[in-house]
Amino acid sequence: MSGSGTSRVTRLLPDAVHQAVKPGTAVVRLQTTHDRRGVLDGAWWPCSRDIAAELPALISALTEYLGPVTRVGLDAGAWDALPTRLLVDDRVVHIDSFPVGDDTVLVTRSDQDYFSLLVIPPHATPEAARTAMAEAVRADNITQAEQILINTGTDRAAPKT
């Protein structure tokens, strides 16, 4: 029995999300914790490593819920080529790239307000991707992105085609 004032924590994605998870899916916890205890705010499973083809759909979807996205920070080593900006829905979105190898994307909607998303590699299996996404959206998750991918067997070490 839970005490008053405590809410029940759901640790699994809703059934509908489990069925819909496929490359091109993003799962975001739209309500971040005030103390930013959790390492990640969600996860994104792009279909390819072509950021110009993948990022516009993510930004459009996030803009619908978060408002205008102004900047995106990406791991330079995780993508085939990175532009410095993209035009998405008639808005310029600036792209920052860093050789950090941390398997995340940072989405900024104002000067200091950002969301950190785990990037699931395109080669991941649906089961591994669902497991990684469920871990990433947990508000109390303290596991780093790279470790989540290792734990779920979705790390970047897939053969290049």
pLDDT tens across 16-38, in order?
444 556 666 667 765 554 555 67
Contact predicate 73/108, CB 8 Å: yes
Higher pLDDT, 77 or 25: 77
Q: How confident is the model at residue 71 (pLDDT cuts 50, 70, 90)?
A: very high
pLDDT mean over 5-22: 45
Contact predicate 100/78, CB 8 Å: no
Lowest-pLDDT range of 35-49, 61-75, 81-95, 128-142: 35-49
